[in-house]
Structure 1
């Protein structure tokens, strides 16, 4: 979540930096009669939906995070595709017929376009219902409605069979440097699906709060949910998660790439959480 906030801020800063070169307004055109052939994505979450739903030959540009396996659940599909530098000139040279972002419309990098361009404006998906809407919206925009419906049906089947092994126990999504994710977030939605109670809600914390090691030890959650990248110590930020005072709290480890954006990887994250809780319970019997 912390890195997600940083990425959105960084994209905004990059857009503002290029605005001095731009003059005319970016407008959304009516829906095209044929699928777009030069799709450009402006941020990580749009990258993943476009990669999952569009044909490879339709994709003309993605962000640099699209190929980062720590950040994108679709990184393997992005290999070999054009990567953008958030340069207005680069996007102008592509001549996109669909631009996807959160949102795409009004992005300063694109204000130099002097013609109508279709815009796919996506909203942050912090609940499963939001994810389904994003999938349907993207699938329609890239010309593959049936692909979107098939993806949703597959996710629904996967999630329908999942147990709720949390049984009302308390969990904390604890991140590098002591940041904890609160309610109204994708992680919180996954916790609820597992039957877990978010420690942040019990403590009255906002969507993102820094919680000291002492506070966490005193709160004594039943589970710590951590990013798999912090399973080993790599720097000071991850070192605190391995403090001896936390070692006997059972851990659920999830790749950040599955939860940084609301998308099809939600079902994968839910399955992994359910399996890990069940395994941990079995080990403590």
Structure 2
């Protein structure tokens, strides 16, 4: 309540923040109380900094389904992306994502909080850029380069041993997903999978249906486990009798959204785990689909 009253007063007067956070940030190149307000920047901050230098990360960072750093997140405070929490926690630096609530970002700029905005990390190149941006802002450039080097080593090792390609359909309740150019598609490719959603005939349809799935005949459906998502109409295609008949059980692999929802330097290790899960699932398939072309499972 006190934070809300203070925030209301600050908005009304449009004065600089009368607390220590902004002054400390101006005095040092190494902020000692960093607050992340984005699920993806959370994980990079947790990888770069010790808990003592993190004011908070979002509550989503503690979700094992969506965060590769959920254990580390248990050691620091959390926030829900509210401006009132910024006032209460007094960070030296606020790190937001490009999709963080525009109203919150605009308010923090108006109140002159030290803040950086990090673009969506939808590719391996974007992960390097974001990691360097955050590392520079918190004064941990060497640590940032070490994280990037580790990711690049992991990706190189994966590329050296691709194995036979496995045809899969990245799938959600409404049909195909992981469009070409997305991080999810890049992750699947690095894991040794070919996403049929981006190949004919699937790629020629704006709204996929079961007929297109039958024509594409993927060996596996790869589904991201929903993080806090309630069932809805978008699940109808997922429950279609054709989908359930041919792809239920061993032909459906449900994976953590943490593997692809956020681009972080830890993604190489996540891809290695995904590759193993894909290979384990493929070994459980003992007969080809009855309508698959010769030579396909």
TM-score bracket, shorter-length normalisation? 0.7 to 0.9
**TM-score scaled to structure 1, two decimals?**
0.75
TM-aligned CA distance change 1:99 to 1:254, over 3 Å: same
Moved more, 153-162 or 195-204: 195-204
2:196 aligned to which of 179, 194, 199:
199
SS at match of 1:181: coil
2:239 maps to 240
**2:130 matched to 1:153?**
no
Q: CA deviation at 1:165?
A: 2.3
Q: Partners in 2 of 1:70 and 1:179 — Cα distance?
A: 21
1:98 maps to 93
TM-aligned CA distance change 1:166 to 1:194, over 3 Å: farther
Q: Partners in 2 of 1:191 and 1:84 — Cα distance?
A: 32
2:38 maps to 43
Q: CA deviation at 1:93?
A: 2.3
Q: CA deviation at 1:278?
A: 4.5
Q: Partners in 2 of 1:228 and 1:88 — Cα distance?
A: 30
Structure possessing the higher radius of gyration over alpha carbons? 2
SS at match of 2:115: strand
Q: Partners in 1 of 2:251 and 2:168 — Cα distance?
A: 10
SS at match of 1:132: helix
SS at match of 1:92: helix
1:52 maps to 47
Question: What pairs up with 1:184-223 in 2 under 5 angstroms?
Answer: 184-202=181-199, 203-204=202-203, 211-223=208-220
- C-alpha RMSD over aligned residues: 3.8
Q: CA deviation at 1:94?
A: 2.1
SS at match of 1:174: strand
**2:256 matched to 1:266?**
no
| Cα deviation code 1:45-91 (max 9, x no counterpart) | 11111111122111112212111111111111111422223332221
- Give 5+ residue unaligned stretches, structure 2: 1-6, 17-21, 287-297
TM-aligned CA distance change 1:247 to 1:54, over 3 Å: same
- Give 5+ residue unaligned stretches, structure 1: 1-17
What count of residue pairs does the alignment treat as equivalent? Answer: 262
Q: CA deviation at 1:141?
A: 1.4
TM-aligned CA distance change 1:204 to 1:282, over 3 Å: closer
Q: Partners in 1 of 2:189 and 2:151 — Cα distance?
A: 17
2:63 aligned to which of 42, 64, 68:
68
| Cα deviation code 1:228-264 (max 9, x no counterpart) | 579xxx9784963971221487455432112110012
**2:119 matched to 1:123?**
yes
1:5 maps to none
